[in-house]
DNA sequence: CTGAAAGCGCTTACAG
DNA sequence: CTGAAAGCGCTTACAG
């Protein structure tokens, strides 16, 4: 195992000082072309690669962005992680990805680990309200999708997006609707529910009233399936004609429940999700859902990080409705 | 933004030398209890945290494991990543996750990035054959699920697992079978196909022969859907009574195609996957598949890394068949 | 424009 | 058992 070449080796080979080597590495203009060339030649000859650890120690800066998601096995966050990585790559940065398994403890741990490694910034899709971090952090932190502590948030305009679904279902004639909500202790859960409920109420004030029942759950498949099973066990004339869910995973779980109970979707029951994960267009029937602008969210989050501003403002990006086969006009 | 306390600060506060501080940090037995206590007190009082970068520079070692997967949006690898992280955590190690987007170039880039950061080991689920890495690497590399270069591989016994599916389908009476294979340029694709084909041939030799057609594709949803659409466009008496796929994603795509073509699964057509991703039990009908022992694979890969042995042998772990609703006896 | 030197925060022989 | 000192590989004032 050969020792890796260092700036010193390069300097010797090129017949200059290490300072000069460092300067051409940094791309400083102020190096005479003749020397610069000698250095670059030496670098090539030796196969020199800068030691990022030494550089980090010296400058206490790196080119890595820390990313924390609540659960990497959640397709939405997997997609998000991929998009963040692309956005970072475009700026020649690397991302370190950590999954908190929805555990605030793990989340805290990962934040510390990132801080310890002097990442240049952290993006976190929170699984908790976030602890009270010291106000004088050395690096910027951005909340993504789910707010972490009181750091600036880049997210879909959940309320707006959810209201789109309310419009859609109401427009199809549904008046008895069940809403499978996200965890009430998450901002995104509350926002989506609120956007959905408010719009439906507004609609009900000027038109036919809506019979809406809310069932809080978690964002995963299991939760959606369980809740739907309960909801759909009501007598046919009591049960909702449409179920809206706070996530695609819940909606897919609901699809599963409907199938088990031999309830035809969308003929007897409309089901809608939220997120537009890649699976949404593959389930049978294809899922009507709200599309979160994942790429845009990722771009903006990374941009905010580079803005360096510790006083960035929240950014909300509108979602859009994707009508597919799982919703249809009410038919009774 | 306050300066972080260093060993020097701790040493002063405790009235000892930095060497001593470093020794209690390392948990060395050879420090007098009295001093040790002073140091730990000082650490607590100052809220001292070791600078991992400095430590890494000095020792050229860290407690981070680099993990590279071909595609984090593939649920199987997302699950794998989560399992690796747990396994690493149990050993007080951190994992840096990178996704190569099935791009050998990106894969190479990530390997270098990890090497540059002196991770203590790399686990890679390859998206390419792997480049010719210098033989004298400073750290161990383990291939997971898909072999990378010629590094030791921890994987499911793909051939054995695939043969289970052959048994299952043959046992149900299917004699006209389509196999949606993985990319022929991947070892795992070849292995699964081979295990499946060989077993079916063996079965055909002693019993009724099987009419088997192979369709190579990628491992994703789209590929499965496209191929199935083609296969199922054959006349009913020519088309297969069962489709086996090399991945759950392909199988779910096939399910989608069957549904579009109004072919009832499993009454008219059996469909089976491979991986047992969490989604497999949620689609309609629930997917019969082969379960890869993800947790075990993750544990073994991490264990091998810690074995430190650069001469680790390949390890194969048996898969198991999970029969669910998407397969049924042939009925004609 | 370039070199000599200090220093980032640790760990670890080397003495004692 | 403990301290003083060297050194990991860089970057960056400071002179010149």
Candidate from A56, A75, A85 with C-beta closest to B75: A75
Q: Return the closest-CA partner of residue B168 out of B321, B48, B308.
A: B321
Q: How far is CA B243 from the centre of its chain?
A: 24
The C1' atom of D12 and the CA atom of A19 lie apart, in whole Å, by 9
pLDDT band at B70 (very low <50, low <70, confident <90, very high): very high
pLDDT at B30: 78
pLDDT band at A295 (very low <50, low <70, confident <90, very high): very high
pLDDT at A310: 67
pLDDT at B200: 96
> Could you tell me the CA-to-CA distances from A198 to A89, A156, A177, A218, B258 in Å, in that order?
40, 17, 14, 21, 40
What nucleotide is nearest B6 when CA is compared to C1'?
C9
The pLDDT of residue B121 is above 70: yes
Instruction: Tell me whether domains B62-151 and B158-292 share a fold.
Output: yes
pLDDT at A201: 95
pLDDT band at A303 (very low <50, low <70, confident <90, very high): very high
Which residue on chain A is closest to B251 by alpha carbon? Answer: A282
Chain A closest CA to B71's CA: distance in Å? 8
> Could you tell me the CA-to-CA distances from A286 to A19, A243, A327, B260 in Å, in that order?
62, 15, 9, 10
The pLDDT of residue B168 is above 80: yes
- The helix-helix angle for B248-260 and B221-231 (nearest 10°) equals 50
pLDDT at A135: 62
pLDDT at A132: 64
Tokens of B175: 């004699």
Q: Does domain A64-156+295-317 have CATH number 3.40.50.2300?
A: yes
Lowest-pLDDT range of A169-183, A194-208, B132-146: B132-146
> Could you tell me the CA-to-CA distances from B185 to B159, B190, B244, B245 in Å, in that order?
16, 8, 19, 16
- Is B119 at the interface with chain A, CB within 8 A? no
Q: How far is CA B332 from the centre of its chain?
A: 39
The pLDDT of residue B308 is above 90: no
Phi-psi region of B275 (alpha: psi -120 to 50; beta: other; left: phi over 0): left
The pLDDT of residue B72 is above 90: yes
The pLDDT of residue A105 is above 70: yes
pLDDT at A332: 65
pLDDT at A134: 61
Helices (H), chain A: 7-14, 18-25, 33-46, 52-59, 75-90, 104-116, 158-171, 187-206, 221-231, 248-260, 294-307
Q: First and final CA of chain A: distance in angstroms?
A: 76
Whether nucleic acid strand D comes within 7 Å of the CB of A25, the answer is yes
Lowest-pLDDT range of A94-98, A119-123, B27-31, B209-213: B27-31
Q: Return the closest-CA partner of residue A156 out of A323, A315, A273.
A: A315
Q: Return the closest-CA partner of residue A281 out of A250, A248, A234, A307.
A: A248
pLDDT band at B331 (very low <50, low <70, confident <90, very high): confident
The C1' atom of D4 and the CA atom of A5 lie apart, in whole Å, by 30
Residues of A in contact with B118 (CB under 8 A): 53
pLDDT in tens, A225-247: 999 999 999 988 899 999 999 99
Q: Return the closest-CA partner of residue B204 out of B167, B156, B150, B249.
A: B167
The pLDDT of residue B232 is above 70: yes
Task: Tell me if B304 sits within 8 A of B312, measured CB to CB.
Answer: yes
In this complex, the residue with its CA at the shortest distance from the C1' of nucleotide C8 is: A58
Question: Pairing between strand A289-291 and A320-322?
Answer: antiparallel
- Is A72 at the interface with chain B, CB within 8 A? yes
Quick one: fold of B158-292?
Rossmann fold (3.40.50)
Quick one: fold of A158-293?
Rossmann fold (3.40.50)
pLDDT at A263: 95
pLDDT band at A4 (very low <50, low <70, confident <90, very high): confident
Give residue limits of the domains in chain A: 7-50, 64-156+295-317, 158-293
Task: Tell me if B175 sits within 8 A of B241, measured CB to CB.
Answer: yes
- B7-50 homologous superfamily: lambda repressor-like DNA-binding domains (1.10.260.40)
pLDDT at B165: 97
* Residues sharing a CB contact under 8 Å with residue A95, sequence separation 6 or more, in sequence order: A64, A65, A66, A67, A81, A84, A85, A88, B98
- Is A221 at the interface with chain B, CB within 8 A? yes
Question: Pairing between strand B320-322 and B289-291?
Answer: antiparallel
* Residues sharing a CB contact under 8 Å with residue A81, sequence separation 6 or more, in sequence order: A67, A69, A72, A95, A97, B72, B99
pLDDT, averaged across chain B: 91
Domain B62-151 has what CATH class? alpha beta
Residues B148-160 have a mean pLDDT of: 93
- State the SS3 of A7-24: HHHHHHHHCCCHHHHHHH
Lowest-pLDDT range of A81-90, A177-186, A235-244, B302-311: B302-311
The C1' atom of D12 and the CA atom of B3 lie apart, in whole Å, by 19
What's the rounded Cα separation, in Å, for the pair A154 and A313?
9
Q: How far is CA B97 from the centre of its chain?
A: 12
Q: How far is CA A196 from the centre of its chain?
A: 21
B contact test, residue of A58, A67, A76, A96 with most B CBs within 10 A = A96
In this complex, the residue with its CA at the shortest distance from the C1' of nucleotide D5 is: B19
**Phi, psi at residue B126, to the nearest 5°?**
-75, 150
Residues A300-323 have a mean pLDDT of: 89
B253 prior amide bond cis, ω within 30: no
> Could you tell me the CA-to-CA distances from B312 to B128, B301, B303 in Å, in that order?
21, 10, 10
Residues A285-296 have a mean pLDDT of: 96
pLDDT at A116: 87
Secondary element (H or E) of residue B254 = helix B248-260
Residues A61-86 have a mean pLDDT of: 93
* Residues sharing a CB contact under 8 Å with residue A293, sequence separation 6 or more, in sequence order: A156, A317, A318, A319, A320
What's the rounded Cα separation, in Å, for the pair A101 and B145?
23
């Amino acid at each position: 195992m050969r020792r890796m070449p260092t700036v010193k080796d390069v300097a010797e080979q090129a017949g200059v000082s290490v300072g000069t080597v460092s300067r051409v590495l940094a791309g400083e203009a102020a190096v005479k072309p003749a020397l610069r060339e000698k250095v670059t030649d030496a670098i090539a000859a030796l196969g020199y690669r800068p030691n990022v650890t030494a550089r980090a120690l010296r400058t206490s800066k790196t080119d890595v962005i820390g990313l924390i998601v609540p659960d990497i096995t959640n397709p939405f966050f997997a997609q998000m992680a991929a998009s963040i990585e692309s956005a970072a790559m475009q700026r020649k940065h690397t991302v370190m990805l950590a999954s908190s398994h929805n555990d605030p403890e793990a989340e805290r741990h990962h934040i510390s680990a990132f801080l310890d490694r002097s990442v240049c910034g952290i993006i976190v899709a929170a699984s908790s309200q976030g602890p009270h971090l010291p106000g004088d952090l050395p690096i910027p932190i951005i909340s993504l999708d789910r707010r972490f502590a009181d750091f600036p948030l880049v997210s879909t305009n959940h309320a707006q997006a959810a209201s789109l679904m309310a419009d859609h279902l109401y427009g199809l004639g549904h008046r008895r609707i069940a809403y499978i909500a996200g965890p009430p202790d998450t901002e995104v859960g509350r926002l989506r529910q609120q956007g959905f409920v408010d719009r439906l109420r507004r609609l009900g004030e000027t038109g036919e009233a809506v019979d809406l029942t809310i069932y809080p759950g978690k964002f995963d498949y299991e939760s959606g399936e369980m809740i739907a099973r309960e909801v759909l066990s009501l007598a046919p004339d009591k049960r909702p004609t449409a179920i809206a869910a706070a996530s695609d995973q819940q909606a897919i779980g609901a699809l599963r429940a409907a199938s088990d109970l031999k309830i035809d979707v969308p003929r007897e029951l409309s089901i809608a999700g939220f997120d537009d994960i890649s699976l949404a267009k593959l389930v049978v029937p294809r899922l009507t859902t709200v599309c979160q602008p994942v790429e845009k969210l990722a771009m903006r989050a990374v941009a905010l990080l580079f803005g360096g501003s510790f006083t960035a403002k929240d950014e909300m990006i509108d979602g859009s409705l994707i009508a597919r086969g799982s919703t249809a006009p009410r038919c009774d």
